[in-house]
């Protein structure tokens, strides 16, 4: 195992007593608890971590957080493999395995790096210019692009890890636990507000973690610990670490992905906050000089973070290049860590002497008025070229100085992380003084604080955070006092010098590459080329050059790219503007989005009270809406067809029994029940006698059939309705909407009884005998209990409602029973029915039986464009009253000739079962395009009739009975069919009336 | 053939091997309260006489404040401005429906016994709030959800009525029968 | 995800609600008296403004009441919620 050559002997926030082993590209390395994968790689001196996306340039770690564009790795293998993981945000664990996703045959020698030699070809708009012609080759191009560009491999098996969701509410959500966030949380917590403080790091403190800067007279680490301890004392404060706030949605709904320990991999926090304080800090930006992507070029702040947090010094001989004050601390940190700092190169001509003195005091030469123009070395930084500079961006650099080094720490200034503010709809504005975009007006209840608000000094951040916390708590109605600010050292600040594109020895379009977007290999020259080719708008340039399109979404180089665009256009940055920020802030896993909602919890499975009987009887199930319904009950050796044939014949000959409990059931009562239902149903509701049933259609206001069912009059002012299984909830809500919005004067109450009542349908010529055998309290004879009526009765000692309705065309009884007794009653029926060979059947047999009778299923034989007239049910439409949808039936389109109408179809050969959905045509040989005159809606083999049957919608079909048309069977095969009336079995309805 | 005095809830398969009382986690216990009668009542509380008649029949007032319950011989939960759920564990609970229906018939109200169609889950223990928060967007903080309050919402992907008892310690969750198996699986998984 | 102030139940998450389209569409008293064009206008034509929009929502997972919301379709800001007519007003 490699030695951790870059690990410092002491310091850092790692736990040296807990060593960890990990593997990268097949080699074993060591690290410590508290490391990230990136810090552990750097500790082991691993420079080269990946190849770039397009040019396959060697790349190393550049940042230490969400901005990292290069160290995007594949973790693990098999079902649990994770693609596209930023090494800077992956906590190291024992046994971790990671590998680069590009670089073939090896990372050091990548065959595709020839792309780099032909870099001119791979310029802006490369994808658009190269893969255009001929169009038929696109499939090959696509495969090529995907293979060479791929960012990682998705697992091909179910994720073995656990995830969960957690809803939370708070008064004040503070995003970011740096100095500003800690002060904001403290101020809000002390006021009594409910506070959530979320931070992406392993521990709170932000940029101060591991710092020895004095705050309030003690080291920063102690101050952080004291604040966090106080926060944790409050019952109503929650401190979330390892938690990335990735989405700021409407009405202060904020989503946070938290990395957990143990068997729970990630948790999604869904937070509704009354106020949000955004204190997530700022991203340091790079500078665009030649070969600024070589492994060993890093952000200055990242170098400091690796030294202080992880006790890793990423280089031995360093150069620091900056245009602002902040990188001076990096030079001091490097020197303190024992590295030689060859020079601090500052583009500014003069800098406060206090700052310069401190750096020079530890022996670091400071070169004011100088720039780094180029980097030597290919797989790793070998040295830098430095030139004197007078501030003229169009100058040619003289490259008079060459400094040997293995690390270049760069700071091009800071970009406040305005992402969440922008996601929340807030405006962002270019700050001419601080040369960065800052949050402007908020659209939601949020405020920004600290460096995320463009405050650079520690003192300003602490004050800004406190003020934001106080203001947020007060907005929630809490009487917040202002906590005292800890005393910190104040220093003179020398303003940043705006510098984006660094002058090179040659002109910017032919000099070595100056990278802006490292993940997509977008360079200064690409942006300039895009402008020459006519692009002006930032959104267009972004898409043409792919600037900011990587998984880092341009956190590193986007603003620099926009500044280069502005410079090329000769316009101020403010006028170029920025692109839109959208969730997620950083990529989140599918696992955490799904949470517990996978496998059997993906969607509720609704079960009837009789479900367990079906399971034990070996039923095959199908999903009907959320219900699991028995599809058929196969016996040994039976498939769907043979089981259904047996179930159908048994029902027609003796008794079949169906669990119809999934029907929607609605109790309707009240003074105006009749008036209400008259407006809903097309038929005359008030004319029904108590105890009578009627088939009822429900039409939408557009006149189309929306649902159907049986309605029963239970009393003068009480009805009982059934709906389709899938329509139950929708119909109830629809009925309520009419009562509440249009007819509030009607006094009618609707109650769903779908779950309260279970429905058992007993169908077949022997069904009456079965009920009589069980002991029924009423006379079941045809005379006393006729078809389409209902009786209250005691059956087998249970109170039930009996309905003489039939969806099979047989003598049938539907039995409504309290669901608490449904299973017992079912078992009783099965026992008593043995002598009649009672046969349980499922939805498939139900469909065949009803199709033989020509009964439609709403949603199968109708599709929302079918009127009752199309179904041949105009006799149900009352002429002398209004009802929903009636007026629409007189619209020109509903009365025109040639509407599709319900018919039956018989195959001419008496054998072919048509395909449901098959298109119907007049003549198979007709010229293309062949006119479609209808389609098959239901099709089954009818073993009872001995031939297949089908229902179809055919243009003008009712006047075409007896005619021959054709149905597609797929694959060019055509069946000849005859149009017939849609009732195939017992057209005189003798059996169901029996 | 079936003895009605042995009123079975038909929920035996839900309970499985766990028994009527189940330890979901170290901090949450679950009890299926099948013996509690559940009556759905709908009517216009603004109508003269309805509230009085209901109060006489039930021995306690209907809650008219949204998301409130009243305690007394029964627990009555507000479901909507014209809808309530009466939870009754009294010895004569079976007769309450009839009595209520008779008392309210002349006031145009609707009474339905829904005991067979809904399952009452009683969740107790210090971890209940956290458990519910995993699947419900309601705020269960004591400041937001007071003892005796009730609310209808979603728990995981099922519609539920959630009620906090008068002591502020245990929650009743009422779910439709067909969703009970799913919800129990979710509770066992999430706990 | 919107936070909607149900006129009865108070502030609840959007997931408890369902959307019902533009508010204030009244069913004609005598549909038969309407021309095809007038009926089509009632049936199909809806406003789609950029800005303030009065719309119907149903607290479907809660009290099952229909009520109105005035919502800005650009910012999603909700200016207020209101009960409908009749016995629900208050």
* B44/chain C closest Cα distance in angstroms: 9
Tell me which chain C residues have a C-beta less than 8 angstroms from the C-beta of A888.
39, 43
Q: Pick A20 or A111 by higher pLDDT.
A: A20
Task: Decide if A513-590 and A897-994 have a common fold.
Answer: no
**A730 at interface of C, judged by CB pairs closer than 8 A:** no
Tell me which chain A residues have a C-beta less than 8 angstroms from the C-beta of B44.
747
Distance between CA atoms of residues B115 and A603, nearest Å:
25
Tell me which chain C residues have a C-beta less than 8 angstroms from the C-beta of B46.
87
Distance between CA atoms of residues A911 and A630, nearest Å:
27
Q: Any idea which architecture C3-22+34-88 has in CATH?
A: 2-Layer Sandwich (3.30)
What pLDDT is attached to residue A56? 87
Q: Are A985 and A992 in contact (CB under 8 A)?
A: no
Task: Compute chain A's Rg from CA coordinates.
Answer: 38
Please state the φ and ψ torsions of residue A555, each to the nearest 5 degrees: -65, -30
Q: What is the CATH number of domain A162-282+416-475?
A: 3.50.50.60
A406-A410-A416-A419 Cα dihedral, nearest 10 degrees: -50
Q: Which of B45, B63, B80, B155 to mutate to test the interface with C (most CBs of C within 10 A)?
A: B80
**C37 at interface of A, judged by CB pairs closer than 8 A:** no
What pLDDT is attached to residue A489? 87
Q: Are B50 and B43 in contact (CB under 8 A)?
A: yes
Residue A261: band (very low, low, confident or very high) from pLDDT cuts 50, 70, 90: confident
Whether A370 has a pLDDT exceeding 70, the answer reads yes
Q: What is the DSSP letter of A890?
A: G
What pLDDT is attached to residue A241? 97
Q: What is the pLDDT of residues C40-85, one digit of tens each?
A: 999 999 999 999 999 999 999 999 999 999 999 999 999 999 999 7
Residue A766: band (very low, low, confident or very high) from pLDDT cuts 50, 70, 90: very high
Residues 123 to 162 of B: which have CB under 8 A from any A CB?
130, 133-139, 141, 143-144, 156-158
In chain C, the residue whose alpha carbon lies closest to the alpha carbon of B46 is: C87
| DSSP β-bridge partners for residue C82 | C68
**B108 at interface of A, judged by CB pairs closer than 8 A:** yes
Distance between CA atoms of residues A436 and A459, nearest Å:
20
Distance between CA atoms of residues A51 and A37, nearest Å:
17
What pLDDT is attached to residue C90? 39
Q: What is the DSSP letter of A841?
A: -
Q: What is the pLDDT of residues A208-246, one digit of tens each?
A: 998 878 999 999 999 999 999 999 999 999 999 999 999
* B69/chain C closest Cα distance in angstroms: 13
Residues 671 to 700 of A: which have CB under 8 A from any B CB?
671
Instruction: Report the pLDDT averaged over residues A420-446.
Output: 95
Residue A643: band (very low, low, confident or very high) from pLDDT cuts 50, 70, 90: very high
**C87 at interface of A, judged by CB pairs closer than 8 A:** yes
Give me C40's structure tokens: 């089509």
Q: What is the DSSP string of A557-571?
A: THHHHHHHHHHHHT-
Please state which of the four CATH numbers 3.30.70.1560, 3.30.70.1520, 3.30.9.100, 3.30.460.80 is assigned to the domain occupying B37-113.
Answer: 3.30.70.1520
Q: What is the CATH number of domain A897-994?
A: 2.40.30.110
A1-157 fold: Ubiquitin-like (UB roll) (3.10.20)
Domain extents in chain A: 1-157, 162-282+416-475, 286-412, 513-590, 664-752, 897-994
Nearest to B2 among A601, A754, A798 (CB): A798
Instruction: Report the pLDDT averaged over residues A828-836.
Output: 97
Range B17-35+117-190 classified under CATH 3.30.1360.120: yes
Domain extents in chain B: 17-35+117-190, 37-113
A286-412 fold: FAD/NAD(P)-binding domain (3.50.50)
Q: Are A512 and A374 in contact (CB under 8 A)?
A: yes
Instruction: Report the pLDDT averaged over residues A276-290.
Output: 97
Please, what's the b/e burial string for A571-580 (b: 16 or more CB within 10 A of its CB; e: otherwise)?
Answer: eebeebbbbe
Please, what's the b/e burial string for A7-40 (b: 16 or more CB within 10 A of its CB; e: otherwise)?
Answer: bbeeebbbeeeeebebebbeeebbbbbbbbbbbb
**C66 at interface of B, judged by CB pairs closer than 8 A:** no
Q: Which of B85, B110, B183 to mutate to test the interface with A (most CBs of A within 10 A)?
A: B110
What pLDDT is attached to residue A126? 67
**A755 at interface of B, judged by CB pairs closer than 8 A:** yes
Give me A189's structure tokens: 């917590």
Whether C86 has a pLDDT exceeding 60, the answer reads no
**What is this structure's pTM?**
0.94
Whether B3 has a pLDDT exceeding 70, the answer reads no
In chain A, the residue whose alpha carbon lies closest to the alpha carbon of B139 is: A169
Tell me which chain A residues have a C-beta less than 8 angstroms from the C-beta of C18.
733
Nearest to C8 among B44, B81, B159 (CB): B81
Angstrom distances, CA of residue A369 to CA of A344, A350, A390, A493, A763: 11, 7, 6, 17, 96
Whether B15 has a pLDDT exceeding 90, the answer reads no
Residues 431 to 490 of A: which have CB under 8 A from any C CB?
443
Which of A175-189, A409-423, B85-99, B124-138 is predicted with the least confidence, judged by mean pLDDT?
B85-99
What's the per-residue H, E or C state across A515-542? EEECCCCEEHHHHHHHHHCCCCCHHHHH
Q: What is the CATH number of domain A513-590?
A: 1.10.10
Percent of chain A exceeding pLDDT 70 equals 96
CB contact under 8 A, A740 and C1: no
Distance between CA atoms of residues A561 and A548, nearest Å:
9
Q: Are A881 and A684 in contact (CB under 8 A)?
A: yes
Q: Where are the alpha helices (DSSP H) in A553-681?
A: 558-569, 573-576, 590-594, 611-616, 640-653, 673-680
Residue A460: band (very low, low, confident or very high) from pLDDT cuts 50, 70, 90: very high
Whether B2 has a pLDDT exceeding 50, the answer reads no
**C64 at interface of B, judged by CB pairs closer than 8 A:** yes
Q: Pick B113 or A54 by higher pLDDT.
A: B113
**C9 at interface of B, judged by CB pairs closer than 8 A:** yes
Distance between CA atoms of residues A546 and A561, nearest Å:
11
Whether A562 has a pLDDT exceeding 70, the answer reads yes
**C63 at interface of B, judged by CB pairs closer than 8 A:** yes
Residue with tokens 């949020």: A446
CB contact under 8 A, B67 and C65: no
What pLDDT is attached to residue A153? 84
CB contact under 8 A, B67 and C88: no
What pLDDT is attached to residue B1? 39
∠ CA(A561), CA(A567), CA(A572), 5° rounding?
Answer: 100
Instruction: Report the pLDDT averaged over residues A159-171.
Output: 95
Residue B7: band (very low, low, confident or very high) from pLDDT cuts 50, 70, 90: very low
CB contact under 8 A, B159 and C61: yes
What pLDDT is attached to residue C87? 44
Residue B6: band (very low, low, confident or very high) from pLDDT cuts 50, 70, 90: very low
Q: Pick A84 or A790 by higher pLDDT.
A: A790
CB contact under 8 A, C10 and B67: yes
Residue B5: band (very low, low, confident or very high) from pLDDT cuts 50, 70, 90: very low
Distance between CA atoms of residues A864 and A974, nearest Å:
28
In chain B, the residue whose alpha carbon lies closest to the alpha carbon of C16 is: B153
Tell me which chain C residues have a C-beta less than 8 angstroms from the C-beta of B81.
8, 63, 65, 88
**C20 at interface of A, judged by CB pairs closer than 8 A:** yes
Instruction: Report the pLDDT averaged over residues A353-373.
Output: 96
Q: Which of A740, A751, A881 to mutate to test the interface with C (most CBs of C within 10 A)?
A: A740
* A638/chain C closest Cα distance in angstroms: 43
CB contact under 8 A, A754 and B117: yes
Q: What is the pLDDT of residues B113-157, one digit of tens each?
A: 999 999 999 999 999 999 999 999 999 999 999 999 999 999 999
Distance between CA atoms of residues B87 and A787, nearest Å:
38
Nearest to A745 among C75, C84, C86 (CB): C86
Q: Pick A131 or A444 by higher pLDDT.
A: A444
3-state helix, strand and coil shares in percent for chain C, rounded to the nearest 5: 20, 35, 45
What pLDDT is attached to residue B4? 40
Whether A812 has a pLDDT exceeding 70, the answer reads yes
Q: What is the pLDDT of residues A535-555, one digit of tens each?
A: 999 999 999 999 988 888 889
Tell me which chain A residues have a C-beta less than 8 angstroms from the C-beta of B182.
601, 604-606
Q: Where are the alpha helices (DSSP H) in chain C?
A: 36-44
Give me A155's structure tokens: 């697992």
Please state which of the four CATH numbers 2.30.30.190, 3.30.70.1400, 3.90.180.10, 3.40.1050.10 is assigned to the domain occupying A664-752.
Answer: 3.30.70.1400
Give me A639's structure tokens: 């498939």
């Amino acid at each position: 195992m490699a030695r951790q050559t870059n690990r410092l002997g002491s310091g850092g926030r790692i736990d040296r007593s807990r060593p960890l082993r990990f593997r990268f590209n097949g080699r074993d390395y060591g690290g410590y608890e508290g490391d990230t994968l990136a810090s552990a790689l750097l500790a082991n001196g691993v420079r080269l971590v990946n190849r770039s996306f397009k040019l396959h340039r060697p790349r190393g770690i550049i940042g230490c957080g969400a901005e990292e564009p290069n160290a995007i790795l594949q973790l693990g293998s098999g079902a649990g493999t994770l693609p596209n993981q930023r090494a800077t945000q992956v906590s190291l664990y024992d046994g971790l395995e990671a590998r680069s996703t590009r670089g073939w045959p090896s990372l050091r020698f990548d065959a595709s790096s020839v792309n780099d030699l032909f870099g001119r070809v791979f310029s802006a708009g490369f994808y658009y210019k190269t893969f255009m012609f001929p169009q038929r080759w696109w499939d090959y191009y696509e495969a090529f692009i995907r293979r060479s560009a791929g960012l990682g491999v998705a697992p091909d098996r179910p994720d073995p890890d656990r995830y969960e969701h957690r809803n939370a509410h708070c008064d004040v959500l503070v995003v970011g636990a740096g100095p500003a966030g800690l002060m904001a949380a403290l101020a809000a917590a002390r006021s009594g507000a409910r506070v959530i403080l979320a931070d992406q790091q392993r521990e709170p403190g932000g940029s101060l973690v591991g710092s020895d800067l004095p705050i309030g007279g003690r080291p920063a680490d102690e101050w952080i610990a004291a604040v966090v301890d106080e926060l944790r004392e409050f019952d109503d404060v929650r401190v979330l670490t390892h938690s990335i706030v990735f989405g700021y949605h409407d009405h202060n709904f904020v989503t946070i992905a938290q990395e957990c320990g143990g068997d729970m991999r990630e948790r999604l926090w869904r937070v509704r906050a009354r106020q949000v304080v955004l204190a997530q800090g700022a991203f340091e930006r790079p500078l665009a000089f030649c070969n600024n992507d070589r492994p060993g070029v890093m952000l200055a702040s990242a170098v400091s973070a690796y030294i202080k947090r992880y006790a890793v010094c990423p280089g031995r001989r360093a150069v620091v290049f900056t245009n602002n004050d902040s990188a001076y601390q990096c030079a001091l940190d490097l020197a303190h860590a024992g590295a030689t700092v060859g020079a601090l190169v500052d583009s500014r001509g003069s800098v406060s002497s206090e700052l310069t003195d401190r750096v020079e005091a530890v022996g670091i030469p400071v070169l004011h008025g100088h720039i780094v123009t180029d980097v030597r070395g290919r797989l790793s930084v070998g040295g830098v070229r430095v030139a004197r500079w007078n501030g003229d961006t169009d100058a040619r650099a003289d490259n008079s100085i060459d400094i040997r080094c293995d690390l270049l720490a760069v700071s091009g200034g800071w970009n406040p992380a305005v992402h969440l503010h922008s996601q929340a709809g807030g405006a962002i504005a270019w700050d001419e003084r601080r040369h960065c975009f800052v949050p402007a007006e908020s659209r939601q209840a949020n405020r920004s604080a600290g460096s995320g608000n463009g405050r650079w000094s520690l003192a300003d951040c602490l004050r800004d955070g406190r003020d934001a916390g106080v203001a947020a708590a007060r907005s929630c109605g809490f009487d917040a006092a202002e906590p005292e600010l800890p005393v910190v050292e104040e220093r003179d600040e020398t303003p940043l010098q705006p510098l984006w594109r660094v002058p090179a020895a040659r002109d910017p379009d032919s000099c070595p590459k100056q990278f802006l977007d490292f993940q997509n290999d977008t360079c200064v020259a690409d942006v300039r080329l895009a402008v020459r080719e006519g692009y002006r708008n930032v959104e267009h340039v972004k898409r043409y050059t792919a600037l900011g399109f990587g998984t880092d979404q341009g956190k590193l180089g986007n603003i620099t790219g926009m500044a280069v665009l502005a410079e090329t256009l000769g316009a101020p940055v403010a006028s170029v503007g920025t692109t839109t920020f959208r969730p997620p802030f950083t990529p989140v896993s599918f696992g955490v989005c799904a949470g517990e909602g996978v496998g059997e919890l993906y969607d509720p499975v609704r079960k009837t009270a009789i479900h367990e009987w079906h399971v034990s009887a070996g039923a095959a199930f199908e999903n009907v809406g959320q219900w699991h319904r028995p599809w058929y009950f196969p016996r040994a050796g039976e498939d769907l067809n043979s089981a259904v044939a047996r179930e159908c014949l048994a029902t027609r000959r003796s008794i079949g029994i169906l669990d119809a409990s999934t029907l929607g059931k609605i109790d309707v009562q009240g003074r105006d029940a009749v008036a209400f239902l008259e407006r809903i149903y097309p038929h005359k509701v008030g004319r029904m006698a108590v105890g009578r049933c009627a088939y009822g259609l429900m039409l939408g206001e557009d006149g189309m059939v929306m649902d159907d069912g049986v309605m029963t009059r239970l009393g003068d002012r009480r009805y009982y309705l059934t709906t389709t299984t899938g329509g139950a909830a929708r119909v109830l809500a629809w009925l309520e909407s009419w009562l509440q919005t249009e007819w509030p004067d009607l006094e009618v109450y609707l109650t769903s009884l779908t779950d309260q009542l279970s429905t058992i349908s007993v169908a077949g010529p022997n069904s009456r005998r079965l009920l009589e055998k069980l002991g029924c309290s009423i006379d079941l004879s045809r005379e006393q209990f006729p078809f389409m009526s209902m009786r209250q009765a005691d059956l087998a000692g249970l109170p039930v409602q009996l309905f003489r309705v039939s969806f099979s065309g047989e003598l049938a009884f539907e039995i409504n029973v309290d669901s608490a007794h449904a299973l017992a009653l079912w078992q009783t029926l099965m026992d008593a029915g043995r002598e009649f060979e009672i046969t349980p059947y499922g939805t498939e047999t139900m469909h065949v039986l009803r199709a033989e009778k020509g009964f439609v299923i709403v949603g199968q034989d109708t599709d929302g464009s079918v009127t009752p007239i199309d179904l041949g049910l105009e006799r149900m439409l009352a002429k002398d009253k209004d009802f929903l949808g009636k007026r629409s039936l007189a619209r020109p389109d509903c009365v025109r000739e040639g509407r599709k109408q319900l018919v039956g179809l018989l195959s001419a050969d008496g054998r072919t079962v048509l395909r449901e959905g098959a298109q119907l045509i007049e003549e198979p040989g007709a010229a293309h395009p062949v006119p479609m005159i209808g389609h098959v809606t239901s099709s089954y083999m009818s073993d009872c009739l001995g031939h297949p049957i089908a229902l179809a919608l055919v243009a003008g079909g009712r006047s075409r009975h007896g005619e021959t048309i054709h149905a597609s069977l797929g694959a060019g095969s055509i069946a000849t069919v005859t149009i017939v009336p849609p009732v195939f079995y017992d057209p005189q309805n003798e059996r169901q009336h029996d | 053939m079936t003895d009605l005095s042995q009123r079975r809830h038909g929920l035996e398969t839900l309970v499985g091997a766990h028994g009527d009382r189940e330890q979901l986690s170290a901090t949450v216990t679950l009890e299926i309260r099948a013996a509690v009668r559940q009556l759905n009542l709908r009517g216009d509380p603004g109508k003269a006489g309805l509230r009085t008649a209901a109060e006489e029949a039930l021995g306690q007032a209907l809650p008219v404040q949204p998301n409130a319950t009243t305690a007394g011989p029964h627990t009555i939960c507000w479901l909507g401005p014209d809808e309530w759920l009466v939870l009754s564990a009294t010895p004569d609970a079976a007769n309450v429906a009839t009595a209520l229906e008779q008392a309210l018939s002349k006031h145009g109200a609707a009474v339905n016994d829904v005991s067979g169609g809904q399952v009452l889950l009683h969740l107790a223990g210090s971890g209940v709030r956290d458990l519910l928060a995993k699947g419900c967007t309601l705020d269960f903080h004591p400041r937001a959800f007071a003892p005796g309050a009730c609310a209808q919402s979603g728990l995981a992907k099922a519609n539920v009525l959630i009620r906090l008892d008068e002591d502020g310690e245990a929650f009743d969750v009422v779910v439709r029968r067909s969703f009970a198996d799913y919800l129990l699986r979710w509770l066992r998984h999430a706990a | 995800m919107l936070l909607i102030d149900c006129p009865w139940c108070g502030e609840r998450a959007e997931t408890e609600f369902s959307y019902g389209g533009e508010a204030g569409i009244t069913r004609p008293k005598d549909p038969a008296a309407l021309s095809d064009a007038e009926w089509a206008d009632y049936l199909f034509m809806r406003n789609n403004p950029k800005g303030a929009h009065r719309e119907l929502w149903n607290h479907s997972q809660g009290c099952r009441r229909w009520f109105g919301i005035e919502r800005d379709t650009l910012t999603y800001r909700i200016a207020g919620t209101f009960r409908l007519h009749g016995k629900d007003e208050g």
